[in-house]
């Protein structure tokens, strides 16, 4: 096979590591509810105690589940590029749980400076001139001193390179409250949000009944509130971007078994709740012992989770009564009120505001389960001409659009997706939000653990560069024709003039001056096809040895086993090298093959997809159709059957169609 043809196949294979979805996504994007920051346990009387174990009294309080969607932040520079935690200065903050990006306040010196919208001392009246979002009362305009002026100033300056900044909803604002910090606060992580006032910050939400008020959060206590916070009063603001600013309500699915699922947060709720008022200790035990809908992992919700049920467009009650009929006034949460630890937080559903009450008195209970961010292992990314880049979640069997723009190439590293968007450069998707890594577009990418190696051919950035998660470093200004990794080692083919080199993390060393047409790795071993003149060689880390004079069309590895397809006289078909000798599996020539688990999948063109079971040494046909592309993930196989059939999934026992649309490129997380 010609070198250019083989290089094109390898580049295409690398591109397969990215994907998107080709039709409108009918489901909302799931945004997990962050935890509260409370990591200590308390008794009913308020004493700090060792956190109880399952089965013990008071087990199930907030700190027992502190690792569910644990609060996490990343500092960003002015271009949205992630910085290390100790970095200073920084410009913005990304919430790693919700994906929201927050404004950073500066210069808290007691002096207002309205020429700088980020000045921490500035206060504003609440004003929204849009009748569709102002709740029926626009509020009080100012001259550079109202909240609409503030947002316009941020967007006019293209703060962070963006013009979609807005006031947060009240739920979003409470998501950054740290309930482990007691009064007088500020009840927020000071390492990421310095210069926060111990006072009230506006949200974008008007009260559903009292239009002169708007909701907000006082960061001395951390509750949500509206009473006495008239729109003509001056309070602090912090802008946000990303996410879904509306509607004020959420969407639910009645599961028909006494449970309701929130489509936005992925939390599953007990529909009816307790029939009577329970003490805090009884509330914890009630949820821990609940068996409902076939689930036994119920728990008492945190204050943030409980507040997520509030429908701020409703009043008396402020909850969707279609899904939650007969809702009572006050419901307990698992979160202790850290100012007076004999109290616990709860929500008043007559109005939607939260507060606290005695653990002895307690309240009504509605149990919750789930809500954790799902692992992206096995997720399929696919790029579609008409619908951009989308991700398929195998746990939920749902597609989610993550970009309306199609990438030129892409590759996964764990749950992180790297995508080259041409002139828009290279970006990283961490499962929640995009961040820009560079304005240059890579020609090719490979990964090793959390490290990305990218080949750039653009002016000023030519050659191979390494991204270690924090910064770029250039390994060489030369452009390789192909790259592969094995562990922490990078192998790069620099063409006929330079040959094959190895990067061991510190320096380059030449393995051979001959240019390979194809290469694959297995541990510290590299198999290289040097064309018809030389054949197939193996590098064991110290020396080369020839395996055959025949020139393979393609190769895959599994452990110490090499599978190679030959199309030469006397050696046609698919062969296996076990480290000592060759054995023929079939005389037919596959057009493509991949290995996953203990199974070899081979595309034999018009004969369709066949599976070679290593344990039984037998072939079996999976489908008579000829695939355009195949990607493995554990025991799952994702296959693109082209425009007529779309993407299908093989789960080891049966086929299921994921979409009838034909992807441009695909990638699967590992």
Tell me: do 290 and 209 sit in the same domain.
no
pLDDT value of position 244: 57
Tell which residue, 242, 317, 320, 332, has the closest CA to residue 284: 332
Q: What pLDDT does residue 12 have?
A: 32
Residue with tokens 């009450």: 357
- Pair 157, 80 in one domain: yes
Q: What residue has token string 């489509």?
A: 263
pLDDT at 29 over 90: no
Stated as kind and residue range, the H or E segment containing 173 is helix 170-175
Name the strands in the sheet holding 101-103, side by side, starting at the edge strand that comes first in the sequence.
73-76, 92-95, 101-103, 240-241
Answer left, alpha or beta for residue 540, where phi above 0 means left and psi between -120 and 50 means alpha: alpha
Q: Are residues 232 and 259 in the same domain?
A: no
State the DSSP string of 75-141.
EE-TTS-B--TT--S-SEEEETTT--EEEPPB--SS---TTSTTBTT--BB-B---TTTSTT--B--
For every residue of 608-643, DSSP letters joined together read -EEEEETTTTEEEEEESS--SEEEEETTEEEEE--T
Of 459, 490, 515, which residue sits at a domain end? 515
Is the pLDDT at 2 greater than 70, yes or no? no
- pLDDT at position 432 is 64
DSSP-derived 3-state class of residue 377: coil
**Distance from C-alpha of 98 to C-alpha of 168, rounded to nearest angstrom:** 13
650 - beta bridge partners?
Answer: 637, 655
Buried b or exposed e, range 297-314, using 16+ CB within 10 angstroms: ebbbbbbbbbbbbbbbbb
Q: Are residues 510 and 490 in the same domain?
A: yes
For residue 16, name the pLDDT band (cuts at 50, 70, 90): very low
Range with lowest mean pLDDT among 139-153, 360-374, 633-647: 360-374
Which one is predicted more confidently, 665 or 400? 665
Closest by CA position to 171, among listed 304, 36, 356? 304
> Which pLDDT belongs to residue 63?
96
Q: CATH number of the domain that 443 lies in?
A: 2.120.10.30
Do 211 and 126 sit in the same domain of this protein? yes
| Burial of 35 per CB tally in 10 Å (0-12, 13-18, 19+) | buried
**356 and 306 assigned to the same domain:** yes
Using CA atoms, how far apart are residues 527 and 529, in angstroms rounded to an integer? Answer: 7
At 13 the pLDDT is 29
Over residues 524-542, mean pLDDT: 91
Q: Model confidence over 604-617: pLDDT tens digits? A: 999 999 999 888 88
> pLDDT tens digits, residue range 211-252?
999 999 999 999 998 878 999 999 999 999 987 554 455 789
- Identify whether 649 is part of a domain: no
Residue 540 domain flag: no
DSSP string, 35-76: --S---EE-TTS-EEPPPPTTSTTTTSGGGGTTTT---EEEE
Q: How far is CA 311 from the centre of its chain?
A: 26
Instruction: Indicate whether 652 belongs to any domain.
Output: no
Give the DSSP letter string of 423-473: GG-EEEE-SS-EEEEESSPEEEEEEETTEEEEEE-STTS-EEEEE-SS-EE
Same domain assignment for residues 264 and 126: no
Structural domain contains residue 647: no
Domain tally, the chain: 3
Please answer whether residues 342 and 336 qualify as being in contact, where contact means their C-beta atoms are separated by less than 8 angstroms. Answer: no
User: Around Cβ 149, how many Cβ atoms within 10 Å?
Assistant: 17
Which sign does the torsion angle of CA 283, 284, 289, 291 carry? positive
Provide, rounded to the nearest whole percent, the portion of the chain with pLDDT above 90.
73
Which helix (H) or strand (E) segment is 668 a member of? strand 665-668
CATH number at residue 260: 3.10.100
CB 540 within 8 A of CB 579: no
Mark which of 370, 391, 419 sits at the end of a domain: 370
Kindly report the pTM of this predicted structure: 0.63
pLDDT (mean) for 260-282: 94
Domain assignment present for residue 532? The answer is no
Confidence at residue 24, expressed as pLDDT on a 0 to 100 scale: 30
195-to-44, 106, 165, 191, 233 alpha-carbon distances in Å: 34, 6, 20, 10, 21
98 within some domain: yes
- Find where tokens 């040494």 sit: 617
500: its two tokens: 């094959």
To the nearest 10°, report the CA torsion of 210, 213, 219, 223: 0
Same domain for 309 and 339, yes or no, is: yes
Task: Point out which residues pair with 447 in neighbouring strands.
Answer: 452
In this structure, is residue 538 part of a structural domain?
no
Closest CA to 248 of 191, 319, 332, 312: 312
Q: Regarding predicted confidence, which is higher, 256 or 598?
A: 256
CA nearest 622: which of 613, 277, 118?
Answer: 613
- Please give the pLDDT value at position 376: 52
Please tell me whether residues 5 and 140 are part of one structural domain. no
The answer, yes or no, to whether residue 112 has pLDDT greater than 60, is yes
Same-domain pairing of 258 and 234? no
- 504: closest CA among 524, 528, 480, 481? 524
What range defines the domain where residue 484 resides? 1-18+410-515
Report yes or no on 132 lying in a domain: yes
Max Cα separation, the chain? 89
Identify the burial level of 131 via C-beta atoms within 10 angstroms of its C-beta, where 0-12 means exposed, 13-18 middle and 19 or more buried: exposed
Q: For residue 595, what are the β-bridge partners?
A: 600
Digit-coded pLDDT (tens) for 555-603: 999 888 999 999 876 778 999 999 999 999 999 999 999 988 778 999 9
Confidence of residue 396 (pLDDT cuts 50, 70, 90): low
322 and 222 belong to one structural domain: no
Q: Do 323 and 340 belong to one domain?
A: yes
Q: What is the pLDDT of residue 667?
A: 95
Q: Which token pair is 651? A: 């789960």
- For 341-360, what is each residue's pLDDT tens digit? 999 999 999 999 999 999 99
pLDDT for position 410: 96
């Amino acid at each position: 096979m010609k070198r250019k043809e083989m290089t094109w196949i390898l580049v295409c294979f690398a591109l397969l590591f990215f994907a998107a979805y080709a039709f409108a996504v009918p489901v909302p994007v799931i945004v997990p509810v962050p935890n509260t920051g409370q990591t200590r346990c308390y008794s009913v009387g308020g004493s700090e105690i060792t956190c109880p174990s399952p089965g013990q009294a008071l087990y199930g309080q907030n700190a027992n589940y502190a690792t569910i969607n644990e609060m996490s932040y990343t500092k960003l520079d002015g271009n949205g590029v992630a910085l290390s935690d100790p970095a200073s200065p920084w410009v913005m903050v990304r919430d790693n749980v919700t994906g929201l990006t927050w404004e950073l306040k500066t210069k808290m010196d007691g002096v207002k400076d309205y020429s700088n919208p980020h000045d921490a001392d500035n206060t504003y009246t609440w004003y929204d001139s849009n009748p569709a979002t102002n709740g029926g009362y626009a509020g009080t305009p100012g001259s550079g001193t109202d909240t609409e002026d503030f947002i316009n100033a941020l967007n006019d300056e293209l703060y962070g390179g963006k013009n979609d900044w807005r006031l947060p909803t009240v739920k979003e604002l409470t998501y950054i409250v740290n309930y482990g910090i007691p009064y007088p606060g500020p009840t927020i992580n000071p390492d990421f949000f310095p210069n926060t006032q111990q006072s009230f910050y506006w949200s974008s939400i008007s009260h559903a009944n009292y239009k002169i008020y708007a909701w907000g959060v006082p960061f001395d206590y951390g509750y949500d509130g509206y009473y006495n916070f008239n729109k003509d009063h001056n309070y602090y603001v912090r802008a946000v971007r990303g996410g879904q600013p509306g509607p004020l309500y959420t969407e639910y699915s009645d599961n028909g078994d006494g449970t309701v699922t929130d489509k936005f947060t992925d939390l599953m709720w007990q529909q009816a709740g307790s029939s009577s008022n329970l003490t805090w200790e009884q509330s914890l035990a009630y949820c821990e012992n609940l068996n409902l809908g076939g689930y036994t992992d119920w728990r008492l919700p945190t204050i943030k989770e409980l507040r997520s049920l509030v429908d701020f467009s409703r009043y008396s009650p402020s909850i969707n009564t279609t899904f939650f009929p007969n809702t009572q006034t006050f419901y307990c949460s698992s979160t202790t009120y850290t100012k007076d630890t004999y109290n616990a937080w709860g929500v008043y559903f007559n109005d939607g505001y939260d507060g606290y009450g005695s653990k002895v008195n307690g309240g009504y209970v509605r149990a919750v389960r789930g809500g954790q961010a799902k692992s992206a292992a096995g997720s399929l990314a696919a790029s579609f001409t008409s619908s951009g880049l989308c991700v398929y979640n195998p746990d939920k069997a749902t597609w989610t659009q993550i970009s309306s723009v199609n990438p030129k190439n892409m590759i996964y590293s764990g749950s992180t997706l790297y995508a080259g968007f041409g002139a828009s450069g290279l970006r990283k998707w961490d499962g929640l939000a995009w961040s820009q890594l560079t304005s240059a577009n890579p020609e090719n990418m490979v990964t090793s653990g959390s490290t990305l190696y990218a080949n750039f051919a653009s002016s000023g950035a030519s050659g191979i560069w390494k991204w270690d998660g924090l910064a770029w470093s250039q390994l060489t200004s030369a452009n390789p024709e192909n790259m592969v990794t094995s562990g922490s080692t990078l192998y790069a083919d620099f063409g006929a003039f330079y040959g094959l080199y190895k990067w061991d993390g510190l320096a380059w060393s030449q393995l051979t001056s001959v240019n390979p047409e194809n290469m694959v790795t297995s541990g510290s071993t590299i198999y290289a096809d040097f064309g018809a003149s030389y054949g197939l060689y193996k590098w064991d880390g110290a020396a080369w040895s020839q395996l055959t004079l025949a020139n393979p069309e393609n190769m895959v590895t599994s452990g110490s086993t090499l599978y190679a397809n030959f199309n030469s006289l006397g050696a046609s078909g698919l062969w296996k090298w076990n480290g000592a000798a060759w054995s023929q599996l079939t005389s037919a020539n596959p057009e493509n093959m991949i290995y996953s688990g203990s199974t070899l999948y081979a595309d034999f063109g018009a004969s369709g997809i066949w599976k070679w079971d290593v344990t039984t040494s037998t072939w079996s046909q999976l489908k008579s159709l000829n695939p355009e592309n195949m990607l493995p993930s554990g025991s799952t196989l994702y296959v693109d059957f082209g425009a007529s059939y779309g993407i299908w999934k093989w789960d080891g026992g049966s086929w299921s169609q994921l979409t009838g649309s034909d992807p441009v490129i695909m990638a699967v997380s590992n």
